[in-house]
Structure 1
Amino acid sequence: MANRLFWPVVMLLVLLIINLLAFPGFFSVQIRDGHLFGSLIDILRNGSPTLMIAVGMTLVIATRGIDLSVGAVCAISGAVACSIILGSSDPASPATVTVAVVVSLLISLVLGLWNGFLVAVVGIQPIIATLILMTAGRGVAMLITEGQILTVNSPPFKAIGSGFFLGLPISVLIAAAIFVFALVLTRRTALGLMIESVGINPEASRLAGVRARGLLIAVYVFTALCAAIAGLVLTSNQTAADANNTGLFIELDAILAVVIGGTSLAGGRYSLLGTLIGALVIQTLVTTVYTVGIPPIATMVFKAAVVTVVCLLQSPRTTELIESARRRNARRRGKAVTA
């Protein structure tokens, strides 16, 4: 119970059980035209954009920072891609879609460099530095779309968010690839240790030879790249670029997923596996709201309640109480054996 992943897993299981009681066929998975369909598949598909961003957000928070601009980056990425596709002579061409995706990702790298430059070089607080792009990013997306909702009719582009590969949604496979890449890169190399050291004590890390400035820039660039991919998935799923609503409040869901997963906002130690569980908790909670019949407008209230409960259960005071109870039980068993 003292493990930081214990209570998030318990919360996820509770939500799944509630869905099963409200809808007996909740766990059923069907195969149609070689594709998997079902409520569990929907949770994975709908939660994949949040997971993509949450993976990058985990690394940012581990460095004692935060990125509020990911939602705006999502909107810019989708707007750029749709503008290129609509401006081409053959929107249904895979080559056109490839160019649109590549240009969107390159622009996201520039946006990530901007955030990293403000934080690591200029020295602006991360919440203020990313708030600048969060505020201006929506305006940039509106300029790109000229204030219109750009609807595209391109099967290759639609496949990014709605397509299937080997029976699984492509968006789920993309999210899994990002998660595995980040997990291997940070846990099988020294990069993860350096990120933790910068988050715990930047000055000591600098004295130890860690190039904190370059590391911070790389983390913000990676987060922007994750946000751009998530924006492409969201825009593709809607088959339209909506500068006002694409990625709206997704930065909050990503932060909630990271916090539920046990990563401290104070920086330092982090858990990508916990982030995965947190993202599943967030999306399962949204699904539960719809399944039980609660008005969708109350979703944010339930998200706040879940985060509050999980954070209280993960708090140091709760951990101390659990450990104290464990020690008392151990002493009692020891006395009983002695007697």
Structure 2
Amino acid sequence: MSKQKKKIWPTVLGFLMRVVRHQLFIPLLAVVILVIINLVHDPAFFKITPGYNNAGNFIFSGSLITILDFGSELGILAIGMTLVTAASGGQDISVGATIAIAGSAMLRIICGGVAHPEENAHSVLLAFLVACLVGMACGLFNGVLVAVFKIQPMVATLILFTAGRSIAAWINHNELPIVPDPKFSYFGGVIPGIPIPTTVFIMLGCMLIIALLLKFTNLGLYTQSVGINEKSARLNGINPVFIKILAFVILGLCVAVAALIKVSRLSTINYSVIAKDIEMDAILAVALGGNALSGGKFNMWASILGAYIIQFLTTTLYKLDVPSEELSVYKALVVIALVVISAPTVRDGIGRFFKKLAPARKEAA
């Protein structure tokens, strides 16, 4: 082997090791794999078609638009779930049920307790603010159980997971209120004259807010400090109880935004079906982003990317004609594989493989 090749080989190995160990390697690899699968199966998957919806509004449609639409909704939840995971080292499994509670409260305010009102009893803004308060209250409840009473997060949130949908039905006396104002559907659909789903703009707004919070406050630093070592954080003047509760309250706000979108899509609610299993997708988005589910250091943007990948996977499975009752199984298998590959143990193993490969290459030379 020439001297030039001997010099290049370690550089190439070092580059490959840095790429494999990068947090975004697995998410981006998942994107590449999904793109290849869809290009082979149906290149039309990536086609965006202009058209009109049932209301006569000009819109863009296609699988990519679906991914942007529902991926944005999931991404909003991933923001809050990332903070909860980082601070508490656990996950909130009551997200779907809390969406039902917040959405039911929102409908109660808009419709004034009437199932089929002729006009809105109160403004959507007031209803959304109430939903935010309800979501924050649920987050506060979960946060207190975790931070004050030291209950494991998944066990603590199991309470609302179990009772949440019954509470949501109780708020409206088990009726299904229908919002009469067609403008309410704009939040989960499109605004006339804008062909892109409104959820994309809501997601951008949430991203801007969390970016400003992480940049101009110590939220990110304190959250990571508590998640890495709670005792050390306390010795440095950080209140772990407050940080954990704050993380759950922020997730409650994210849930309220998701509830607005969910309820707006149909202008009503189905307590047993709305946001079913969405908490699992939110948790998987955090994991797929390369964040440790045991808490500590996190990358918010990787979690958001993970949310869109989860939706990309879901849309791909539908396009492959996977039966709806089998969808969760296929999704779980794929995501488990990706999460295992992204595990630090596996990455370290790959790194050791490259290190062993370098001396072997030198000896061969």
TM-score when scaled to structure 1?
Answer: 0.91
Partner of 2:86: 62
Match for 2:252: what amino acid? A
Alpha-carbon distance in structure 2 between the residues aligned to 1:133 and 1:326: 47
8 Å CA contact retained: 1:112, 1:217: yes
Partner of 1:81: 106
Q: Does residue 101 of structure 1 match 2:120? A: no
Match of 1:145 among 157, 161, 172: 172
Alpha-carbon distance in structure 2 between the residues aligned to 1:320 and 1:30: 44
8 Å CA contact retained: 2:26, 2:290: no
SS in 2 for 1:177: helix
Partner of 1:316: 344
What whole-Å deviation, never above 9, does each CA across 1:180-238 have from its counterpart, x for those lacking one? 32234225543212111100111110011111121111111000110111111011112
Q: Does residue 208 of structure 1 match 2:236? A: yes
Alpha-carbon distance in structure 1 between the residues aligned to 2:76 and 2:343: 26
Partner of 2:39: 20
Structure 1 stretches lacking a partner, 5+ long: none
What whole-Å deviation, never above 9, does each CA across 1:305-333 have from its counterpart, x for those lacking one? 11221122112332123212322344456
Instruction: Give the number of aligned pairs.
Output: 336
Match for 1:252: what amino acid? M
Larger radius of gyration: 2
Q: Does residue 274 of structure 1 match 2:298? A: no
SS in 1 for 2:143: helix
Alignment of 1:122-271 (within 5 A): 122-164=149-191, 166-187=194-215, 189-271=217-299
Alpha-carbon distance in structure 2 between the residues aligned to 1:187 and 1:321: 34
Between 293-302 and 95-104, report the one with greater CA deviation. 95-104
Alpha-carbon distance in structure 2 between the residues aligned to 1:327 and 1:166: 53
Structure 2 stretches lacking a partner, 5+ long: 1-19, 52-56
Q: Does residue 48 of structure 1 match 2:72? A: yes
Match for 2:144: what amino acid? F
SS in 2 for 1:152: coil
Alpha-carbon distance in structure 2 between the residues aligned to 1:289 and 1:131: 29
TM-score when scaled to structure 2?
Answer: 0.85
Over aligned residues, Cα RMSD in angstroms?
Answer: 2.2
8 Å CA contact retained: 2:120, 2:179: no
8 Å CA contact retained: 1:234, 1:246: yes
| 1:83 Cα offset (Å) | 2.1
Partner of 1:9: 28
Q: Does residue 121 of structure 1 match 2:140? A: no
What whole-Å deviation, never above 9, does each CA across 1:92-138 have from its counterpart, x for those lacking one? 58x62222112111221222222222222233322222111222221
After superposition, the Cα gap between the structure-2 partners of 1:6 and 1:243, relative to the gap in structure 1 and judged at 3 Å, is: same
Alpha-carbon distance in structure 2 between the residues aligned to 1:153 and 1:290: 32
Alpha-carbon distance in structure 2 between the residues aligned to 1:320 and 1:122: 36
